Structure 1
Amino acid sequence: MRTPRLLGGRYEVGDLIGRGGMAEVHRAYDTRLGRDVAVKILRSDHARDASFLHRFRREAQSVAGLNHPSIVAVYDSGEDSMTEPGGGRVDIPYIVMEYVRGRTLREVLNESGSLDVEDACVVVESVLDALAYSHERGIVHRDIKPGNVMIAEDGAVKVMDFGIARAVADAQATMTQTQAVVGTAQYISPEQAEGQTVDHRSDVYSAGCLLFELLTGRTPFVGEPISLTYQHVRKPPPVPSTLASELPTDMDAVVAHSLEKDRTRRYPDAETFRADLERVRTHRPISAPARASLAALIGAPAVAAATGATAAPTEVLGGAAPTEQLVGPPNPATQPVRRAPVEEWSTSTYPAAKDRRRGGALAWVLVGLALLGALLLGLFAYSQWQENREYRAMLPVPNVVGTDIDIAKKRLDKDFTVTAREVDSQKPKGQVISQDPASKGEEGILQRNGLVTLTYSGGPGSTQVPDLEGMTIGEAKKALEDAGLKLGDREAVDTADQPQGRVVSTDPGALTNQQKGTEVDVTYSSGKVRLPDLTGKTADEARKIIDDLGLPYPKVTERTTDEAEAGTVIAQNPAPGAIRNDQVVAIIIAKAPDKTVTSPPPSETPTPTPSEPTDTGTPKDKGKGNGKDPKTPTDSPTSTEPPLPTDPSPTAGPAPASVAVRPDGWRLSATWSS
């Protein structure tokens, strides 16, 4: 087993979870505080620069002081000594950060392509909150991009890598076109691309590029790094709505203002940018500078047509001033107009004066027509304003929280535009849970026909009962809560299906659909089973009962007895009752006694006469006289009869005519024929 690398005597370095151009990020474990952390270890080629190490230490100290809910917290920093392949030693700096469970914004975009307007606003507003906080403390991020923004499992937005890019940039403050530019090419500000000194407005530009990508699914400029750098400096960005037609014109204006090439014309800070985004999200008017940026990008008439604004009289007046003196033919459409120097004017002849009068009259005619047009447009605009004054009045939003969604819509539809979204909740189905804007305070004042968003309960919702079999009670409770269910009654049952304390079954059953919040009853193993009385059962019946209980294979012995039927159980251990579900049961089986062979007493035989010899030999002498009965038993009682001749022959006497043999194999007597 490999011993984990230990940093600073307390951080056990684990799996690699991220890799960038400057550093690698590992999941680690803080052995001192007992928590998961993320450790960013810089590449060794950056660590060789002494000036960089000095700036890195200084920057790590300042970043560690950042404490904001939208910034990944920095806990600690240090250096780890490493041996290079050549044998040299180098100090590798590292930063210990908060470990965020979730996905990067880059992963979200790779999956979904883009976000809707509201979600994009919420994400970028959180990023700008974090930037505004860091800018107040003199820290510029310099590398805002989707890969440096985390979306946590609870939906929180977290910005990463504060300060590291700043340290690198300080170490490479003097840039040329042949040097690396700090930042990512798709999101780099024009001043960064040109190697100028950057400030907080560079982060504003990068955040604008991020917003553009969230809305359209692509960055403002695409191409190779060198081409991207040129485009950021020279080429105007496209209007987002040309790539995503559903985007409102106000969003085009906000993006255009954030991507101004000249930083002095850009949003002055992240907070101002965030305020305009919030206005777009809540359908309120945005700032005038944002509209001006869009007008400069696509032209004032186009902006007026898109937003429904009425052109001011100065936009109609486009001719020369009435006091201007013109020379040349009287038709300016066919002859370019040029200004006549005063010293060239002549009053000594009639024709010269006549030309001046004719040119001045034409100018006055043009001015009069312009004024008349402006007056007509002004009257039209005033009538429209007068007609819509009541319509555009700011109205208080009534409180509909706690009412039924249908009733709430009827109350609001008269003056506002209402959208509703359903969520799972323990509240009664159809009840309004929240509203935006709220009914009290400044947020409760809304322009007539403004948007009110209602959130209402759809009921507990449906979920699936997880399979809890084999889990402990604690594990089962956690699994049920994760599924939106509750742990109900618990009952212990005697079974060998599960070890003691493990879940055996649930009610409702596993994988069935139930409403969220439903209580699920569980039965768990008591660790015991009920052993019945096995006496009188056959051996096979007893084995089957034990097997059905899930107990181990029994220990079987036999005992000879005539008090029970052979093959039946006459005793068991343990006795009937509750026993452990892993206990071995011993049973004793009755065995029939062996049958005893009893020889009957020998019968009386007549005493043989000399002329009639008899065979009185013992069993082991059988068969020696005439070769008959070689298998005669050898354990019979000794006969009292005289022994037979051991070697009878034809010359010794007559051969026996017959031999009487008992059924049990014993030879009783032999009769010899004379």
Structure 2
Amino acid sequence: MAQVYRGYDLTLGRDVAIKILDRELARDTAFRTRFRMEAQAASRMSHPTIVRVFDAGEDSSTEAGGTAAEPVPFIVMELVQGRLLKEIIATGPLPASVAVKYADGILEALEYSHRAGVVHRDIKPGNVMITSSGSVKVMDFGIARAISDSSSTVAETTQIIGTAAYFSPEQAKGEQVDARTDLYSAGVVLYEMLTGRQPFRGESPVAVAYQHVSEAPTPPSEVRDDVHDTPEAERIRGLDPVVLRAMAKDPYQRFGDAATFRAALRESGTGAVPTKKQLGALTSELYGPNPRHAQETARTLRQLSSDTTMSRTQSGPPVAWIWAGVALLAVLLASVLIWVLAMRSNPDLPTSARTVPGLAGMTFERAQDQLSKQGLRAVRIDQADASVPVDKVISTDPAAGTQIEKGQSITVYVSTGAKLVKVPSLVGMSESAAKDALTKNGLQLGSVLQKNDIQTQKDIVLAMGVPADTEVQPGTAIDLTVASGVVTLNDLTGWTLDTATQALKALGLTANPVANPSCKATDPKTVASMSVAPGDVPVQSTVDLSYCTGK
């Protein structure tokens, strides 16, 4: 898709990475337009887990013969020292603790980008770097969308992007995608880190895409035959439900957002390992058979692609099985109806059932005490919320009033107050540009103090009341000191010419001696008059000093 060069920014004095995209892509005007828009969106994101985009544009060149070549899009990014996650996985499965750490870093980047309204659409180990310190860096935000939005078929898109091994089902079917697509791909990456291989493999990208839509993945713990009956096996089994939930075919059955996915990862490390029965129930819930759905998928993929290597991996069910399924469904419905009627006749809850109490507005300690009395466990998650006071409960999951079994964990979301914002660096900006920068960052312009500065033009910011990069509450007023654009000039009449020239130089002004033969010369030469009246004069002005030279 591109070639990457190491470069040096002469203006800012820093090493950068320069990605120059393939000329075939550059011939597509729609792609160039989309790429420019997406690069601009990516450049607005600044987060430790995301490779920064510094600049993007198009480079024009001339071919042999003097004809103008197609402009080639380029993107200038932060230079990261480290290894691709793809290279690390190639050496074998990662320990569960390391895989969770890397997955958490990827999800932290997605949590930030999704809040900024940017969906990556191509999360895979080849787009994730691990630095020498073990930190995660996700790259190529926006490029996948620029490519896929200017490609008409799955075949074209997979040829450009590369492997379809990390496709979500909705991407495979050419449907609209959102943030949950990135969560599916992150689940596939976590699967590969735990097992050392991708969940689905096939002879062609379309065959793999078909499996993403219609087939259930094998739980990671069942793939790792090498760690049976070890603590590592227990840790991987604890991650099975998280991986299966992230890779649900239906976007609505996946985690609602990256933050929820991260919370589930942390929860998996508490030692709660599902039984085979529980795991089987989850697999059935998320990947239950749906022959009609699979047939529609196959038909859609054939229409989207000219690939002829795709073949079904499962046969359609016999007619007898369909009728047996209908009969089973009727029995289940009748059983549910009888159960509901029985519940109505006996409104008392089972002794093991508990109702989640309303905890909103409480401190976490009090909420924890309330849950403990109900035989429930509290798991604290801190979350920014401007409408709820600091250290007060925002909400719970499950919500208040929900009936659950005794001993279950309740996620308690606790407010950290409004999310702090960083004060941008404003020194050197004009007053109007500084005000716009403050507004953009959710801050306000405070008092503005005028100050004379011999080297600075009017309205340029000289100093800030709060240092740059300080984290403050949204809406904080930032005081500024700006240049007045003038200096105060004294009356130099009667001063010697040399002394007056030095005084002007000290004020950043330029002296221009002018001889006047109409008046009698003095020794030493003295200033007879000035071209500028004493008082405030613009910085870096020139002042004529008239002195007498007559007999």
Structure (1/2) with the larger helix percentage: 2
Higher relative contact order (CA 8 A, sep 6+): 2
- The two structures have a TM-score, normalised by structure 1, of 0.40
- The two structures have a TM-score, normalised by structure 2, of 0.49
